[in-house]
Amino acid sequence: MHEMKKMVQKSIGLGLLSCLLSVCWAAPSGGAAGAPVLIGFDGAYGQKTNTAPQSIEWGIRAAMAEINAAGGVLNGRPLSLVTTDNKGVSVRGKDNFVELAGRQDLVAVLEGKYSPVSVEVLPDAHRLKVPLISVWGSADQITDHSYKPSYSFRVSLKDSWGVETMIKRLAVKYKADKACVFLPNTSWGRSSEAVIRAKAGQYKVDFNVVRWYNWGDVSFVEPYRACLSAGSKALMFVGNEKEAALLLRDVASQPPQLRLPMVSHWGVSGGVLHELAGEYLGDVTFDVIQTFTFVKNNRPRAKYLGEWIRKNGGFQSFTDIPSPVGAAQAYDTVHLLAMAVNKAQSTQAVKVRDALEKLPAFEGAVRHYTQAFTSARHDALDASQVLFVKMDRLGRLIPIE
C-alpha cells in the first residue's frame, strides 16, 4: 500500500474519531474568542476509496485557521466545523443536512463529491432556508432549478461548461469526429448527457455510442467493443474511481492500436484510482478535467494552502496531496462565507444567503473573484479555470497540454 493512501486513511480515521457528528475546532492561534460560528460539511467519509472528503476538510480547516488567527468573524468569534458522513447515499445526505441545519449559529452546509446527494438535498435547503454550497458536485441541477430565492451555491466545476470543454478536447486534441460516452445512471450522468446533446454538434463530434451504467457494474468490455465497432475515435467517461479502474483495465487489455484516448470527468480524481488501477494507468491515455492544481501555481493563497496541507497532512510535497480541487474550492468557500457573515453582521442563514450575493472582490486560491455570486448567478467559477491532468502511478495529478 502506498504511503499516500496510508496518510489519507490515518487522517480520515483521526478526523472521524474526533469530529464526526460533533463540533470540530480549527484551533485559533490568534484572538478569536466567544461562541463559535458553525459551518457544516457533509461528505462521503465512509467510502474507503474516497479521498475527496479529507481533501475538502483540509481546505476548510486551512481557511478557518487563517481566519481565526486574524480574529475570526463578527468581532472575535471563531469559525468551527461540524462534519457528517453521508457514505455517498442520498437519504443519509438529506438526514444529515436537516441535522446540521438545526444547529444554532450554523451559517451554511458544504456538500462534497456526489452530485446526486446535493440534488436530493435541495428541497430541504430551501424549506429550511439554509445555504447549501457545493464544493465538488458539478451537476447543473445543483444551481439550475426553480427555487426562488435560491439557497444553493457552488464553488466548483459546472457541467454546462465543464463537459463542453471535455467535448472540445475530444475534437481538438484527438480529432475525434466520432466518439462514445459512458454515463452513470444518476442525476450527474443526466446532467452530462444534456450538455452533450446541446454542444456536440458545435464541435462536430458525433457521439455514436451512449452507454449508461450503474454503480456496481463489474465490466465495460461489451460497451467498449460497441465503441470500437461503431468507429469511435475517442471515449468520454463520467464516473468515479471504482468504475474508472474497471474501464482502464478493460481498455488496457486491448491491443495497443485499439486503446482509444479517453477524456474523463473529475470524479476519478476524488479517490485512490492509482491504487485500484495500478499498472493500467501507464498503458492508456486518460485525461482528467480539473479546475485547480498546486503545480507551478504562484497564487499566494494557493501557496499558503499547499504548504498548510503539506505540514498538517504529513506530505513530503504538495504534489502528493490527493484531490487538490476539493481542498482549494473548499478553502475559497470558507473565506467567502466568512466575508458574507461579516457583511450580514449575523449568523442568521437567511441574512448570510443574501450577503453571499453582494460580496466584494476576493483573491482566492482558485481564482480572483470579482464578485463570487450575484442574484442571477450562484456559480463562482467558469470555464477559464479548466485544465487537464494525467494521474501517475503514485496518484499525483500532473498538468498536461
The answer to whether 3-157+296-384 and 160-290 have equal CATH topology is yes
pLDDT in tens, 72-120: 999 999 999 999 999 999 999 999 999 999 999 999 999 999 999 999 9
DSSP-assigned letter for residue 50: B
Predicted confidence (pLDDT) at residue 241 exceeds the cutoff of 70: yes
Q: Where are the domains of the chain?
A: 3-157+296-384, 160-290
pTM, to two decimals = 0.92
pLDDT at 4 (0 to 100): 44
What order do you get walking across the sheet with 152-154 strand by strand?
23-25, 79-85, 37-43, 106-111, 132-134, 152-154
Q: What class is the 3-157+296-384 domain?
A: alpha beta
- Closest listed residue to residue 169, CA positions, set 203, 209, 210, 194: 203
pLDDT in tens, 316-347: 999 999 999 999 999 999 999 999 999 999 99
pLDDT at 133 (0 to 100): 99
Mean of the pLDDT values across residues 336-364? 99
C-alpha cell at 391: 494521474
- Closest listed residue to residue 59, CA positions, set 321, 359, 340: 321
Question: By the 8 A CB rule, do 270 and 50 touch?
Answer: yes
- Closest listed residue to residue 86, CA positions, set 68, 103, 72, 100: 100
Helix (H, G, I), strand (E, B) or coil at 180: strand
pLDDT at 119 (0 to 100): 98
Predicted confidence (pLDDT) at residue 297 exceeds the cutoff of 80: yes
C-alpha cell at 197: 446533446
pLDDT band for 32, please (50, 70, 90 cuts). Answer: low
Residue type, 14: L
pLDDT at 18 (0 to 100): 38
pLDDT in tens, 376-393: 999 999 999 999 999 999
More confident residue, 12 or 147: 147
* The CATH number fitting domain 160-290, selected from 2.40.240.10, 3.40.50.2300, 3.30.9.10, 1.10.357.10: 3.40.50.2300
pLDDT at 21 (0 to 100): 37
Predicted confidence (pLDDT) at residue 231 exceeds the cutoff of 70: yes
